Amino acid sequence: MGDYGAIVSRKGFEVKTCADRFLVYSSAFPTLKVFNVSSGSTTIPTSGTNTITITHNLGYFAPYLIVYNGSTTTGVGTSNLMSDNDSYLNTRQYTNKLEILVDAYFDQYESSQGDTVYFTIYLFLDKLETYSAPTINTGTSSGSSSTDYGFRVSKAGFDVKTCADIDCVVSSSFFTNLVHRKGLLTGSSFYHGLGYVPSYFVYEYNATGGYIQTDNLALQNIQYIDSNHLYYDSGVGTGDGIYYLILKNTS
Amino acid sequence: MADYGLRISRDGVDVKTGDDKDMVLTSKYSNLKGNLSGSGSVSVLNNGVTVTVTIAHGLSYIPMAQGFFSENNSAFAILPYFNSLSGGGLYTQYRHNVTSDSTNVYLKFNIAELLGPPYTYTVYYKHFIFIDKGKL
Amino acid sequence: MILFYNKKNGNVFATIDGRVHDKKQLGCYVCDSNNKKEEIGKFIIGWLEGKDGNRVEYNLDKIKLLEKFEDITTESPLEYKIDLKKGTLIKK
C-alpha cells in the first residue's frame, strides 16, 4: 500500500523522488519545533555563581541552544554559540527549568567581573526520548527540477502573504531540521544508518544531578559522529550517557 | 475563541487530541529555518594562532548558526570544542568555536602543541546558518 | 551549489549547498586566513533565481557531478579545482 501524507522538497529537487534529506517538510518526519526564544542577562560576580533560570515546566528533557551575546566590556556586536570566548557555557537543563551559570571566571580573558552578560536562549519543544523516523528515500539524488512553487505558514499574528521570512513557522524556501533519531545512548555507539554525516544535537546526562549539560562534550572521544554511527565513551565525564537528536540534514 | 491553524500529527498520534510535542508540524511553534549550509576545509598550524573561516551570511543581523568539525573528514564533533589532550609525547590544546555578527559567521580553529614540532592540520568543517536570530 | 575557489591556484576550499540560489545568497562568501576575500572566486552549479522568479542556469553540464556531491558517496567538491585557463571544474 502506498504511503500518504504531504512532502515539500527544497528548491531544485524533484519532490517525488529526492532523498529524505532534501525535503523541507514531510508528514513522515517530525520537525524540531521551537518552544520558546528568550533573552536573559546577569552580571559576572567577584565570587560564587549567578544563575539565569528559565522555568519551562515541560516535564521532560528538551534540546536547547544558547547564544552568548556579549558583555559590557566586549559589546554586543558578536555572539558565540554555546560558549564564551574561552570555554563552554555552564548550563543545566532539568525537566522543568534551564539554567545558565555565570561564575567569576566567565569569559575571563575578554570580559570583567561586574560586567553584565547577555544571552539568547532557544528552547525546543521536542522531548529527548527514543524515537526513530522511517527512511523513505535514500541514495542518489535524482531529477533536477527548475520549476518551483511553495508552501508557507506564518506565525500567529503575521500575514502569510506579506510577512518576512523570519516570521514564518516554516517555508519551502528554507531547509528545516527534520528529526531522524533521538534517544539516550549509554552504550559505546548507536547506528543511525544515514550513510552520511548529519547535523545533530547532543547533551551529556548527569543522573545524580538530574539534568543534562554540555560542559564535557570535548572530553576525549566522549562523543563524535560519522556517516553511520554516533559514538560515546562512558569512561569519561559523568558516564551516565548522552541524549542525542540526529537530524536528516547534511551539508 | 477557537484556535485555528495547521496541525499535523506523527503516525499513531491523534491530531485532534495529541500533545503539541508529538506533532510533526504545528503552526503554534516555529521551526529553525535554514538559510545557508555548507562545508569546507582549512589548514591550521599547531602554533596556537587562531585560523578563522569567515562566512558572509547577508542577513544584516546576528543569526543562529551551528558548526561541526573533523580532522579526517569522516568523524565530526559539535562546535564549540575546548579540550586539552595528552598523548604521544604531545600536549594538544583545542579552542574551536562559532561566533557571528551582523555580517559574518566565523568558525574559529586554534590548535596549540607546545611540545611538538610545527605541524599543519587540515580541519574539515560543516556549517548551518539559520534566518532565525542569534540575538533578539 | 556555490563552490568557492582561490583565484591564484584554482583550489576549491568551501561550498554553500543547494541547487537554486537567490541574489542574497550569491552575495555571500566564504574566506579564511589562507584564502582572503579578494582572492576568492565562485563557481555555481544550478540556478540563480531573480525576484521575479525567473531562473538562469549555471554550469548545468555539471549537474550529474552535483548529484554525486549530494549523494552518499565519497565524492567531495573539496577534491576538485578550477582550471584557471578554461574556467572549468576538474579533479585535483
Tell me: the pLDDT tens digits for B62-71? 999 999 999 9
Summarize pLDDT for A150-181 with one digit per residue, the tens: 777 888 788 877 888 888 888 888 888 889 99
The neighbouring-strand residues paired with A98 are A54, A93
Interface contact C25, partner B, CB < 8 A? yes
> Are residues A146 and C71, on separate chains, in Cβ contact within 8 Å?
no
The pLDDT confidence band at residue A212, using thresholds 50, 70 and 90, is very high
Higher pLDDT, A83 or A145: A83
Summarize pLDDT for A17-69 with one digit per residue, the tens: 888 888 888 878 888 889 989 999 999 999 999 999 999 999 999 999 999 99
Of A128-132, B107-111, C71-75, where does the model show the most confidence? B107-111
Whose cell is 553584565? That residue is A116
Report pTM.
0.88
Which of A25, A68, A81, A154 to probe the B interface (max B CBs under 10 A)? A81
Contact (Cβ atoms closer than 8 angstroms) between residue C46 and residue C66: yes
The whole-angstrom distance between A174's CA and the closest CA on chain B is 5
Mean pLDDT of chain B: 90
Exposure class string for A208-234: b at 16+ Cβ within 10 A, else e: eeebbbbbbbbbeebbbbbbebbbbbe
pLDDT at B97: 95
In this structure, of A4-8, B41-45, B92-96, C28-32, the range with the lowest mean pLDDT score is A4-8
What ipTM did this prediction achieve?
0.88
> Which of chain B's residues have a Cβ under 8 Å away from the Cβ of C34?
42-43, 51
Interface contact A105, partner B, CB < 8 A? no
pLDDT at A92: 95
Strands (DSSP E) along B10-70, which ranges? 23-26, 30-31, 34-45, 51-56, 63-70
